[in-house]
Every structure is written in structure tokens, then in C-alpha cells.
């Protein structure tokens, strides 16, 4: 298989970092299977990798980090696996609440959290409320999230507002723009990801940030998520820095 994760002697340039990195945290189950461990052990290892990568992103000056933690399709997995993922999320949020004053990391959630447990919803609400006090790096956690679901939700909410405003004579039929529609996304007021990374060897977006990724640079690596570290991230960023982003135009 073609490996897009080639090592290079040159290092990332600190002055040309992507503003927003998004990561599909994939490969926990395969990591565990290789070690004859239960899948829950892979998710626990992946959670620790997330902590380290998030801290490193903060340290090097990344402004936004968005991670795909649990998709709308992941409910199809065995109940015990889903339960272990939710327990890890709860543990992370409890620890984050204790450390947020020190670390000043903002946390926001993308996805429909209404079907999560009352305890988890309460933690999510408390975490987002406390996050409003900080201006540091923002970590967006996608939980019960799907890109198509997000677009449908945005369209439904826009249609409701349009029906109300048009009845009041406050909106023109041609008023909808990409900028206006983006305000109905979970990512409203957050810049689109510059760089999307997917570990584990799979080369697809898997319903992740479909609206926001229109001009994102994509990067795929065979490294499984629990083995992903700051050195791997540095190499990925170097690949990003070597690319020429033209957004559909031509370089003059």
C-alpha cells in the first residue's frame, strides 16, 4: 500500500503552522488486536494519545484541534465497547474540569449530545460553560457526530428561520450564502480545518466534517492512533507545509 507518511530530514517550520488541525482517531481496535488485548484497551490507549497530542498542539501554538471521537454510525458497535468509550469520555471531562483553570484549554462539542446519558450531558454542559472563560487553544470533540447529519440539521434549522423571517418580510429568497449557512453548523464561528489527519491506513473521511473540509489538506498514515505521537505529528505538519494551497486558483 502506498504510504503517505514519509520521513524527512527537514523539520516543521514553527512560523507556518496550520491554524486548525482535525484528526480522525482511528486504529484503536486493530492496535489492541495486535496485542491480543480487548478493544477497550485500545480505546484507553487512544484516549491517552489524544491527551498527549492535544497538549502538544497547545504547546506548539495550534489554535484549534478537532477530533472524531464517536460517530453517528458507531452506535452499531457492541454495547460493551460503546460503554467503554463513554466511560473514557466521562473520565476525560472530569479530569479536564479539574485542570481547565490551569491549562486554559477551551473544549467544545460537535454532534447531537441529546441522546447521551444525563450524567454525560451535565459534564458536557459544565465543560463548555467553564470554557467560555478562556482564550487559549480550542479542542472540539465530535461525539455522536456525522457530517451528513450536521448538514441536514443545519438545513432544517435554516428552513425554520427562513419560514419565520420570510413571513415577517425580513428575508429575500436569494439571501442564502455559504457564510450564512455555515452559521448553522456545529462549527459556527470556527475556521475550517486547514489539515485533516487520518491514522490507521484507511483513506477516506468517513462522514467527518464534510462541509468544512472542502479545501482542507488531507494526510493519511499507516500508523495506528495509539502509536501516533508528537514526532508523527511534526512529520505530518512538515508535509502540510510543503504543499501549495491554491483554493481552486492558480499560483501567480
Stated pTM of the model: 0.89
Question: pLDDT tens across 44-69, in order?
Answer: 999 999 999 999 999 999 999 999 99
Question: pLDDT tens across 191-230, in order?
Answer: 999 999 999 999 999 999 999 999 999 999 999 999 999 9
Helix (H, G, I), strand (E, B) or coil at 91: helix
**Of 16, 25, 12, whose CA–CA distance to 139 is shortest?**
25
Give pLDDT, residue 8. 42
| pLDDT > 90 fraction of the chain, expressed in percent and rounded | 76
Domains and CATH numbers, the chain: 16-146+192-241 (3.40.1180.10)
* Catalytic (active-site) positions: 26, 74
Give pLDDT, residue 252. 61
Q: Is 101 left (phi over 0), alpha (psi -120 to 50) or beta?
A: alpha
| Rounded alpha-carbon distances, angstroms, from residue 159 to 155, 181, 241 | 6, 10, 40
Question: In the predicted model, is pLDDT for residue 40 greater than 50?
Answer: yes
State the SS3 of 150-179.
Answer: HHHHHHHHHHHHHHHHHHCCCCCCCCCCHH
Give pLDDT, residue 44. 95
Q: What is the mean pLDDT of residues 14-30?
A: 93
| pLDDT > 70 fraction of the chain, expressed in percent and rounded | 89
Give pLDDT, residue 140. 97
Distance of CA 23 to the CA centre of its chain: 6
- Residue linked to cell 451535565: 122
The region of weakest confidence among 139-143, 159-163, 196-200 is: 159-163
Q: What is the mean pLDDT of residues 153-160?
A: 93
Beta-strand pair 64-71/138-145: parallel
Give pLDDT, residue 223. 97
Strand (E) or helix (H) holding 148: helix 147-167
Amino acid at each position: 500500500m502506498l504510504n503517505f507518511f514519509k520521513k524527512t530530514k527537514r523539520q516543521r517550520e514553527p512560523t507556518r503552522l496550520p491554524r486548525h488541525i482535525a484528526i480522525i482517531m482511528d486504529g484503536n481496535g486493530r492496535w489492541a488486536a495486535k496485542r491480543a488485548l480487548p478493544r477497550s484497551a485500545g480505546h484507553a490507549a487512544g484516549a491517552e494519545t489524544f491527551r498527549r497530542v492535544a497538549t502538544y498542539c497547545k504547546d506548539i501554538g495550534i489554535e484549534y484541534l478537532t477530533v472524531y471521537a464517536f460517530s453517528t454510525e458507531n452506535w452499531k458497535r457492541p454495547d460493551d465497547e460503546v460503554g467503554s468509550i463513554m466511560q473514557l469520555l466521562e473520565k476525560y471531562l472530569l479530569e479536564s474540569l479539574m485542570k481547565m483553570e490551569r491549562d486554559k484549554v477551551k473544549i467544545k462539542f460537535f454532534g447531537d449530545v441529546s441522546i447521551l446519558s444525563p450524567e454525560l450531558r451535565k459534564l458536557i454542559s459544565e465543560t463548555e460553560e467553564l470554557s467560555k472563560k478562556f482564550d487559549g487553544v480550542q479542542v472540539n470533540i465530535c461525539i455522536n457526530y456525522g457530517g451528513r447529519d450536521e448538514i441536514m440539521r443545519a438545513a432544517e434549522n435554516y428552513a425554520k428561520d427562513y419560514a419565520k423571517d420570510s413571513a415577517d418580510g425580513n428575508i429575500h429568497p436569494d439571501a442564502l450564502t455559504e457564510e450564512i449557512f455555515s452559521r448553522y453548523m456545529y462549527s459556527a464561528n470556527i475556521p475550517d480545518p486547514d489539515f485533516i489527519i487520518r491514522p490507521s491506513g484507511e483513506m477516506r473521511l468517513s462522514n467527518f466534517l464534510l462541509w468544512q473540509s472542502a479545501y482542507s489538506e488531507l494526510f493519511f498514515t499507516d500508523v495506528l492512533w495509539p502509536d501516533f505521537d508528537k514526532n508523527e505529528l511534526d512529520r505530518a505538519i512538515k508535509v502540510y507545509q510543503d504543499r501549495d494551497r491554491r483554493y481552486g486558483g492558480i499560483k501567480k
